Structure 1
């Protein structure tokens, strides 16, 4: 099924190298569109609200977002903050939002979601970026794990308005300090992390109310009942929802605690890895991994002999397929580099997969094409070339093109004897149509060159004939 809504009056059809196909959503910050680049890649294009002139000073913040590690976030691919219509392009995530999925998570799924959010915030915060709008609507449950979206530079209106006014659309996920006039920073994202995890576990907001005032009061004064959230996640959520931002853990601390908890659980299972190095000596047989769980947080003896606390562990030196070793080191209290933690968080997030029926325009069109009767397929290229050029159809092949238009369903809008492409991005999104257009363009170019050649030859022959006649007339009509 297609998830994007149709473009409406006033929506652009093209921005830079991107053809817009439909609306994915709209909010206080702007509109997000489904789009395709010239290579047919499906992307999400965010067009912010506000005066474009006010966006130009924010190019640096967009650059910071692009520089952030893409761990558990939708990677920012391109951006234009200086054009007449600013936009930000990110990878497309095929999946519902956490709120839209209507799904309550428990057990490992809840832990993996919490890790995905902590991984995304860690990557952003380490790049100096504050999300500012982490809510269940900005968490997409993709087929390869959750992805955080909606981050990015402040909109122009946010640079002039107070934070409480900005929070009216998501007050239950706004940190208390924002309501008391303090500038919210990374700690506000951590507060939102706790509120989103609560929502994932319960299906309701942590600070519910029938009015903005009621929600603000609860955010400022009430601690939600966290009993539905299992330990050790419950303690982390409680810390993240602290009213005082100074008492909240950092996103990296959350990630460290989550991957350690996950590794400890998995270490209690028998070790089956053939290349496992979690044994007492290089010649010893692989011990049951349960024997390697750190006691009291100490580094296991076999690990202490290999690594020292003064040398942080990197992904390259530990992962390499040695799953049990990586888990044991995550569970132990040893210093770990940022890339190691992000890799561990990505691995946890990837275990929460959400299959979703969200094919792109190209896939829908190709599926329709392969269902055509082979006898009708030769007519499809001519028909779609006319539609791509803006010329009406179906016509010419009569019943064949009627059947083709019927097979392509909502991709072709028909009105009487005329038709048009429902999505102007289809020539970008459907490789087969792009190939037809390219071949037609080449054929037209060859035809134009051939016409020019014969025209030139005709002109030369005509000039030669005229010259011969003039010469003949100059000699009295007698041959020279």
Structure 2
């Protein structure tokens, strides 16, 4: 048990914690994140987890996985969020290949709305990337506020660079202070991955240097998205569009050229597979088991 939730399966892990599929006494499904045991004695990690809980609670559940319950002061702090019927963007691209142009535009518009909501409550996410984006039945959601920070909060470390290198902004890669414009850069990188199957600056140990000094590879990006994404990936934060401008541009593109289908059939099929897996898991004995499929939702 974690708090009042019966552990059904281990969903995954990240740098800060582990995530489990849990069931409430009435059998409602939740994703429960716990801080890693080796970090419990470090007050900075406890404070970071407390900030995560506060940040996740601040943002509308229409754009994120809503917080159901949390105890950041427990001997092993935990956070429970509502289970969202969906699958991560990274899992979709790995299994089905890049998204179609229409779907990528709809995704970008949804992420722009999410950033408007996140920034509107004074928070910078700092880790927007494909594995932290869910393609849910009712639209995309942004999850994992593990390194999110209120704009007026002091950094917990002066030297540590947090985030996922391939999706960092140049200022984040340099260890400089980050502002909402940093999330816009990460949105652009995430859209490139969604539409082409690869991050715009590649990966590996030198990716941070390419982000700071190099040019993105946008050769496979659909032409209607090229101008907007290029602006999102400007080195100078002041040259990037706002989430509101991104939303207007992509909504105009959707209205002019595309229908309203969401989610696409192949994504819906992946979601159905995840649903069947969860039904099987919750029907088993209440012992910890590994999930049968990867990419199940969890706020890692």
Q: Greater strand share, 1 or 2?
A: 2
SS of structure 2 residue aligned to 1:258: helix
Structure 2 counterpart of 1:184, from 173, 178, 192 = 178
Structure 2 counterpart of 1:88, from 66, 71, 79 = 79
- Determine the structure 1 residue equivalent to 2:152: none
SS of structure 1 residue aligned to 2:73: coil
Q: Which runs of 5+ in 2 are unaligned?
A: 150-154, 290-300
How many pairs align?
273
Query: Is 2:213 aligned against 1:221?
Result: yes
Q: Deviations over 1:217-259 (max 9, x none)?
A: 2101122232422344211111111111121122222122222
RMSD in angstroms over aligned alpha carbons? 2.9
- Whether the aligned pair in 1 keeps the contact of 2:166 and 2:208 (CA below 8 Å) is yes
Once the two structures are superposed, the pairs formed by residues 139-150 of structure 1 within 5 Å of their partners are 139-150=133-144
- Whether the aligned pair in 2 keeps the contact of 1:242 and 1:248 (CA below 8 Å) is yes
Query: What is the Cα deviation at residue 18 of structure 1?
Result: 1.3
Query: Is 2:223 aligned against 1:234?
Result: no
- Give the whole-Å Cα distance in 2 for the aligned partners of 1:154 and 1:142: 22
Query: What is the Cα deviation at residue 111 of structure 1?
Result: 0.7
- Whether the aligned pair in 2 keeps the contact of 1:98 and 1:139 (CA below 8 Å) is yes
Once the two structures are superposed, the pairs formed by residues 334-413 of structure 1 within 5 Å of their partners are 350-352=262-264, 354-355=268-269, 356=271, 357-359=273-275, 363-364=279-280, 411=284
Structure 2 counterpart of 1:97, from 73, 88, 91 = 88
Query: What is the Cα deviation at residue 153 of structure 1?
Result: 5.0
- Whether the aligned pair in 2 keeps the contact of 1:71 and 1:123 (CA below 8 Å) is no
**Cα separation, partners in 2 of 1:61 and 1:365, compared to 1, 3 Å:** closer
- Determine the structure 1 residue equivalent to 2:250: 258
- Determine the structure 2 residue equivalent to 1:390: none
Query: What is the Cα deviation at residue 105 of structure 1?
Result: 1.0
- Give the whole-Å Cα distance in 2 for the aligned partners of 1:216 and 1:151: 22
- Whether the aligned pair in 1 keeps the contact of 2:127 and 2:147 (CA below 8 Å) is no
Q: Deviations over 1:321-370 (max 9, x none)?
A: xxxxxxxxxxxxxxxxxxxxxxxxxxx7944553321237883389x8xx
SS of structure 1 residue aligned to 2:123: coil
**Cα separation, partners in 2 of 1:161 and 1:94, compared to 1, 3 Å:** farther
- Whether the aligned pair in 1 keeps the contact of 2:48 and 2:146 (CA below 8 Å) is no
Structure 2 counterpart of 1:162, from 138, 159, 164 = 159
Query: Is 2:110 aligned against 1:116?
Result: yes
Structure 2 counterpart of 1:125, from 119, 123, 131 = 119
Query: Is 2:70 aligned against 1:73?
Result: no
**Cα separation, partners in 2 of 1:186 and 1:222, compared to 1, 3 Å:** same
Q: Deviations over 1:288-315 (max 9, x none)?
A: xxxxxxxxxxxxxxxxxxxxxxxxxxxx
| Structure possessing the higher radius of gyration over alpha carbons | 1
- Provide the TM-score with structure 2 as the length reference: 0.80
- Whether the aligned pair in 2 keeps the contact of 1:227 and 1:234 (CA below 8 Å) is no
Q: Deviations over 1:48-107 (max 9, x none)?
A: 232265425864663342121223322222221111111111121344322222231122
SS of structure 2 residue aligned to 1:359: helix
**Cα separation, partners in 2 of 1:185 and 1:200, compared to 1, 3 Å:** same
Q: Greater helix share, 1 or 2?
A: 1
- Give the whole-Å Cα distance in 1 for the aligned partners of 2:184 and 2:160: 17
- Provide the TM-score with structure 1 as the length reference: 0.52
- Give the whole-Å Cα distance in 1 for the aligned partners of 2:159 and 2:261: 35
**Cα separation, partners in 2 of 1:61 and 1:35, compared to 1, 3 Å:** closer
Query: What is the Cα deviation at residue 193 of structure 1?
Result: 0.6
Once the two structures are superposed, the pairs formed by residues 204-353 of structure 1 within 5 Å of their partners are 204-209=198-203, 211-212=204-205, 214-265=206-257, 350-352=262-264
Q: Which runs of 5+ in 1 are unaligned?
A: 1-13, 270-347, 369-410, 413-420, 425-480
Q: Deviations over 1:446-472 (max 9, x none)?
A: xxxxxxxxxxxxxxxxxxxxxxxxxxx
SS of structure 1 residue aligned to 2:144: coil
- Give the whole-Å Cα distance in 1 for the aligned partners of 2:71 and 2:34: 10
* Higher normalized contact order (CA 8 Å, seq sep 6+, divided by chain length): 2
